[in-house]
């Protein structure tokens, strides 16, 4: 595979959850970060991981397992020392990726610095991608007409049904599927825990952890990556 000059910005959560809810210990879902990160790196892309506060992006303990690939251990180390979002030059990047886990529901959903970045990527026609709860980081962004950038776009995310299955539908700050529909998105989904990705122009979204690899591959396609 040829070396790429393009750069990918991953924005992840700093949130451990909310002590006043049943979601007291959460963060980023490791598979949703590690799989795309390793795919991007293996294809020669420069990848920077940032978060609103910088430093530690906590990993949801439920996504930690002795059966995880050993390569994911290096990803955990990167998540301990993320760059601070408002200290980076986001305009040098060609794609934006937001991994999930419940953490983004508590911080990325409300982050004004991320809103600015998403709007820049949208207006510049650059790739915007997110998986599972990652699309929570897109909900503040507006186009030049003041509409959500997701209005009339085919998107997906962790579904209300999946949230109900894990018994957190009454505990999350909001139901992400419902919010996306309220913003005017054309919400699509597959069966629970199955691979499902939507591509609508430069916006690429995945439904759940099982969609992480396919989403990463779709990002590469949008960036024009070609195998030798």
Instruction: Quote the percentage of the chain above a pLDDT of 90.
Output: 93
Q: Distance between CA 217 and CA 215 in Å, rounded?
A: 5
- Average pLDDT, stretch 177-204? 98
CATH hierarchy code of domain 7-222:
3.40.50.880
Give residue limits of the domains in the chain.
Answer: 7-222
On the question of pLDDT at 1 being above 50, the answer is: no
Return the pLDDT at 5. 80
On the question of pLDDT at 3 being above 60, the answer is: no
Q: Distance between CA 75 and CA 90 in Å, rounded?
A: 21
> Which tens digits make up the pLDDT trace of 42-71?
999 999 999 999 999 999 999 999 999 999
On the question of pLDDT at 214 being above 50, the answer is: yes
Band the pLDDT of 92: cuts 50, 70, 90. very high
Return the pLDDT at 174. 97
CA proximity to 212, closest of 47, 58, 30: 30
> Which tens digits make up the pLDDT trace of 113-126?
999 999 999 999 99
Return the pLDDT at 228. 55
| Residue 200 CB burial class (10 angstroms; 0-12, 13-18, ≥19) | middle
On the question of pLDDT at 14 being above 60, the answer is: yes
Q: Exposed e or buried b for every residue in 164-185, given b needs 16+ CB within 10 A?
A: eeeebeebbeebbbebbeebeb
Return the pLDDT at 227. 67
- Average pLDDT, stretch 152-158? 98
On the question of pLDDT at 22 being above 90, the answer is: no
């Amino acid at each position: 595979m040829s070396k790429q000059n393009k750069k990918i910005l991953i924005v992840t959560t700093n949130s451990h959850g909310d002590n006043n809810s049943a979601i007291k210990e959460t963060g980023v879902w490791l598979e949703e970060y590690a799989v795309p990160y390793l795919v991007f790196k293996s294809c020669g892309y420069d990848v920077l991981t940032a978060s609103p506060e910088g430093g530690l992006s906590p990993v949801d303990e439920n996504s930690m397992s002795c059966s995880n690939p050993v390569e994911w251990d290096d990803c955990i180390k990167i998540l301990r020392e993320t760059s601070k979002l408002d200290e980076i030059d986001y305009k040098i990047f060609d794609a934006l990726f937001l991994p999930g886990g419940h953490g983004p529901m508590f911080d990325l959903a409300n982050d004004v610095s991320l809103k600015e970045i998403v709007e820049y990527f949208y207006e510049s026609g650059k790739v915007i991608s997110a998986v599972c709860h990652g699309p929570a980081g897109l909900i503040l962004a507006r186009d030049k007409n003041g509409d959500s950038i997701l209005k009339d776009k085919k998107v997906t995310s962790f579904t209300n049904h999946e949230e109900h299955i894990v018994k957190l539908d009454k505990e999350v700050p909001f139901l992400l599927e419902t919010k996306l529909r309220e913003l005017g998105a054309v919400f699509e989904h597959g069966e629970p825990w199955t691979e499902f990705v939507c591509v609508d122009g430069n916006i690429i979204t995945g439904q759940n952890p099982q969609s992480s690899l396919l989403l990463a591959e779709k990002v590469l396609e949008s960036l024009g990556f070609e195998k030798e």
